[in-house]
């Protein structure tokens, strides 16, 4: 009797396996050549949850199946931040734009899912590389037609791009920050000082350096000198007027009354100022600061530490200022190194001392993102460099 039950159980298991395998084979056979509309999501690189990047891609993809190859069209309204993208280690390129939606095309093998993806991003705080996964729901694939021509593929892609545009959410804007121009008497002294923006704890240029104009205006005031810094970035980036907000400078918070926003040609501009009692304070040490960077399209809103290194001296005009060395050979109040036999870089030994040991900007970006894990770690929701 026991043997009979065992035989019966084995038979049932065998039949079940055959039934399941038959179903899988039959299902696979339904993916024949032609065009399909396939639901798609962008997942985190190492988790089954949705990546922050998912909101910048359409929920439907177009797939052209031709034998062992599948050509995918993905829609995205975040193309202005994507300098390069790969899916399954294959390059995804923009083949058409429909309004604000870009159609990315990539060819992969078979109908696998999820597919590893990589994104190279360009944001106001520099360039980043993020990872994620493209998950295609082939079980819900909807046949469109039997055509496999490029014309039919692009036509289907245009349709889903138009649908994505209608469903695209309104990009949130950064709350306006009041700014007031302070009117002062005509200064008796006006100089221009070259500077560069360094990372929070390393003698390297910060990613923010490319958005500062690198020449400060220094004017005399009743109690000393006013130092004005300027930030500008292209309006075409669509970051809004308050993408960069100064939080602190030289150990002091920056009042809203010290900040002015505006436009210059094709650029958004922001200027802010702080005061020093004497000019030698510009070169006595690196001047620490913090800036708040907001990238609405990447859901990035983070404060980053920076430091300002001024040239050895100022100049009467901007043209002369840019000729002054940004790295002075000697610094005011330089402290001799204790170990004269040290083998560290000689240039680093000549740099001004710093009073700020905050984490560098690239590490913080790493913690964001992605957040862009991007600005788009763990997928697009990472991090600083």
Q: Where are the beta strands (DSSP E) in 157-238?
A: 190-198, 215-221, 224-234
* Mean pLDDT score, 194-212: 90
pLDDT band at 75 (very low <50, low <70, confident <90, very high): very high
- What average pLDDT does the structure give for the chain? 76
Asked whether the predicted pLDDT for residue 151 surpasses 50, the reply is yes
Cβ-based burial of 136 (10 A; exposed 0-12, middle 13-18, buried ≥19): buried
At the topology level, CATH places domain 32-167 in: Immunoglobulin-like (2.60.40)
Q: Quick one: pLDDT at residue 23?
A: 45
Asked whether the predicted pLDDT for residue 224 surpasses 60, the reply is yes
Q: Show me where the domains of the chain are located.
A: 32-167, 190-284+308-328
Read off the pLDDT of residues 159-196 as tens digits, 9 standing for 90 and up.
998 888 776 544 433 333 333 333 333 334 789 999 99
Q: What is the DSSP string of 300-356?
A: EEEEEEEEEEE-SS-BSSHHHHTTS-SS-SS-TTPPPPS-TT--S-HHHHTSPEES-
pLDDT band at 239 (very low <50, low <70, confident <90, very high): confident
* Mean pLDDT score, 235-261: 91
Read off the pLDDT of residues 291-327 as tens digits, 9 standing for 90 and up.
999 888 777 888 999 999 999 888 888 888 877 765 5
Query: What percentage of the chain carries pLDDT values higher than 90?
Result: 42
- On the question of a common fold for 32-167 and 190-284+308-328, the answer reads yes
Please calculate the CA angle 41-43-46 and round it to the nearest 5 degrees: 160
Q: Quick one: pLDDT at residue 173?
A: 35
Q: In angstroms, what CA-CA distances link 299 with 33, 176, 335?
A: 39, 17, 43
The Cβ of residue 360 has, within 10 Å, a number of other Cβ atoms equal to 22
Asked whether the predicted pLDDT for residue 254 surpasses 60, the reply is yes
What class is the 190-284+308-328 domain?
mainly beta
Read off the pLDDT of residues 84-137 as tens digits, 9 standing for 90 and up.
999 999 999 998 988 889 999 999 999 999 999 998 887 665 677 889 999 999
Q: pTM here?
A: 0.46
* Mean pLDDT score, 34-42: 95
Read off the pLDDT of residues 332-381 as tens digits, 9 standing for 90 and up.
333 333 333 333 333 333 333 333 334 444 444 444 433 433 333 344 44
């Amino acid at each position: 009797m026991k043997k009979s039950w065992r035989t019966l159980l084995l038979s049932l298991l065998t039949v079940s396996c055959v039934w399941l395998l038959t179903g899988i084979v039959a299902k696979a056979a339904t993916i024949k050549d032609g065009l399909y509309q396939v639901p798609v999501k962008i997942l985190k690189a190492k988790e089954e949850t949705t990546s922050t990047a998912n909101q910048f891609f359409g929920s439907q993809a177009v797939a052209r199946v031709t034998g062992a190859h599948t050509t995918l069209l993905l829609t995205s309204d975040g193309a202005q931040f994507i300098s390069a993208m790969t899916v399954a280690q294959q390059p995804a390129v923009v083949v058409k734009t429909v309004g604000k939606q870009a159609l990315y095309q990539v060819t992969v093998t078979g109908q696998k899912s999820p597919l590893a993806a990589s994104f190279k991003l360009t944001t106001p705080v520099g360039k980043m590389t993020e990872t994620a996964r493209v998950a295609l729901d082939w079980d819900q694939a909807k046949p469109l037609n039997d055509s496999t021509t490029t014309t039919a593929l692009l036509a289907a892609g245009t349709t889903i791009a138009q649908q994505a545009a209608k469903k695209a959410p309104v990009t949130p804007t950064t709350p306006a920050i009041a700014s007031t121009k302070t009117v002062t008497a005509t200064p008796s002294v006006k100089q221009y000082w070259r500077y560069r923006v360094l990372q929070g704890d390393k003698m390297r240029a910060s990613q923010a350096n490319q958005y500062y104009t690198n020449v400060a205006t220094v004017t005399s005031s009743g109690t000393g000198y006013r130092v004005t810094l300027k930030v500008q970035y292209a309006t075409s980036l669509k970051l809004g007027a308050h993408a960069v907000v100064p939080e602190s400078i030289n150990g002091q918070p920056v009042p809203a009354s010290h900040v002015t926003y505006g436009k210059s040609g094709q650029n958004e501009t922001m200027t802010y100022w702080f005061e020093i009692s004497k000019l030698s304070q510009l070169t006595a040490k690196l001047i620490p600061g913090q800036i708040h960077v907001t990238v609405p399209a990447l859901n990035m809103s983070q404060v980053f530490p920076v430091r300002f290194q001024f040239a050895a001296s100022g100049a009467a005009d901007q043209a002369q200022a840019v000729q002054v060395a940004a790295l002075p050979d000697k610094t005011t109040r330089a402290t001799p190194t204790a170990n004269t036999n040290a083998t560290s870089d000689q240039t680093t030994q000549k740099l001004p001392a710093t009073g700020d040991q905050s984490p560098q900007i690239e590490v913080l970006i790493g913690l964001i993102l992605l957040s862009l894990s991007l600005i788009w770690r763990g997928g697009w929701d990472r991090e600083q460099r």
